[in-house]
A = this chain, B = another copy of it.
Amino acid sequence: MKIIIDAMGGDYAPDAVVAGVVDAVSQFDVRIALIGIQDKVEAQLKKHSYRPDKIEILHAPEVVGMEEPAITPVRKKRQSSISLGINYLKEGKYDAFISAGNTGAVVAASTLTLGMIPGVERPAIGLCVPSLKGPSFLIDVGANTDPKPTHLIQSALMARVYAKAVLKRANPSVGLLNIGTEETKGTGLEKETYKMMAEQVPNFIGNVEFNEVYMGKSDCIICDGYAGNLVIKVSAGLMEAAGQLIKREVKKDFFAILGAMLMKSRLEHIKKLVDYSEYGGAPLLGVNGIVMISHGRSSAKAIKNAIRATMHEVELNILGAMSKL
């Protein structure tokens, strides 16, 4: 299996990306092409030891910044790691593309270069989120902030394929994220989507209210990209703030420090459940290729886990399964 990874993507690139790749190839049966500015990638690679047949470098002289418009790799920076990487993927010599770079740019370049799979009009980013009953698949977390009901139906059907293959749910249930639990709640978009889902989506269980996201009410939770982005970012910010608050409070008190030490292994287990870097990546679904979006703040560990998750998608032939929506 051969995966291309954007060496220039993410806040800690190329250092964290290269470190994660070196770690991944030592553990997994995969070959990686690091795409980016050759000198910079080589300089990082030299710091590590690795089997040279497992890692190659593809040169891409341009870099898309985290804040540049989404259309940049397609319109202006055609020699960027995102643009060239997705082109290589399209040519078929590689199995997947991973980037922790500018999400909008990856979405736009993937959509325009790879095209969509049959039956899907718009891409959507999914993310496995923890819940009291094991992971749920939340989709869309930021690709399409202004979808039509048909787009949400298509996301729901893709989510079911994903949850079946990756989360091993026999008949994945689907919920619609909404401001209330009743059928009549929400904006025009949600009301229309509710009706269509009830008719077209198997195992549709109705609305999932905002405060039920982490309750495990359904295997898949469908929403527009604006709401989904808000859910994951507010949640990440809250966990970050709560973590800082707990540290600050615990430090004030010797017994609390001792208590925290005794709880350490359990707290670490919980941290693992909610830590984005354990999941590593968010699949971009709907495009005609396997593209994984990794968190902008990805650490080496997150990159390694994104590679593992991507390998899993390739092995399970997610793209093939999606083509029978």
- Given A249-B266, A266-B250, check contact A210 B237 (CB 8 Å): yes
The answer to whether the Cβ of A324 comes within 8 Å of any Cβ in the partner chain is: no
Cβ contacts A223-235/B at 8 Å (1 or 0 each): 0001101110111
The answer to whether the Cβ of A246 comes within 8 Å of any Cβ in the partner chain is: yes
Q: Is the CB of A233 within 8 A of B214?
A: no
Q: Is the CB of A241 within 8 A of B132?
A: yes
Q: Is the CB of A235 within 8 A of B238?
A: yes
Q: Is the CB of B229 within 8 A of A231?
A: no
Cβ contacts A263-303/B at 8 Å (1 or 0 each): 11111011001100000000000000000000000000000
Q: How far is the CA of A67 from the CA of B67 in the complex (A)?
A: 43
Which residue from chain B places its CB closest to the CB of A269 in the assembled complex?
B249
**Interface size of A as a range:** 35 or more
The answer to whether the Cβ of A244 comes within 8 Å of any Cβ in the partner chain is: yes
Q: What residues of B have a CB within 8 angstroms of the CB of A132 in the complex?
A: 241, 244-245
Q: What residues of B have a CB within 8 angstroms of the CB of A39 in the complex?
A: none
Q: Is the CB of B259 within 8 A of A230?
A: no
Q: Is the CB of B238 within 8 A of A266?
A: no
Q: What residues of B have a CB within 8 angstroms of the CB of A274 in the complex?
A: 242
Which residue from chain B places its CB closest to the CB of A246 in the assembled complex?
B270
Q: What residues of B have a CB within 8 angstroms of the CB of A258 in the complex?
A: 259, 262
Q: What residues of B have a CB within 8 angstroms of the CB of A179 in the complex?
A: 145, 226, 229-230
Could you show 25 A-B contacts with beta carbons less than 8 Å apart?
A: A145-B187, A146-B187, A179-B229, A210-B233, A210-B234, A211-B234, A213-B234, A214-B237, A214-B242, A215-B237, A230-B230, A234-B234, A234-B235, A242-B270, A242-B274, A246-B266, A246-B270, A249-B269, A255-B262, A256-B266, A258-B262, A259-B263, A260-B263, A262-B262, A263-B263
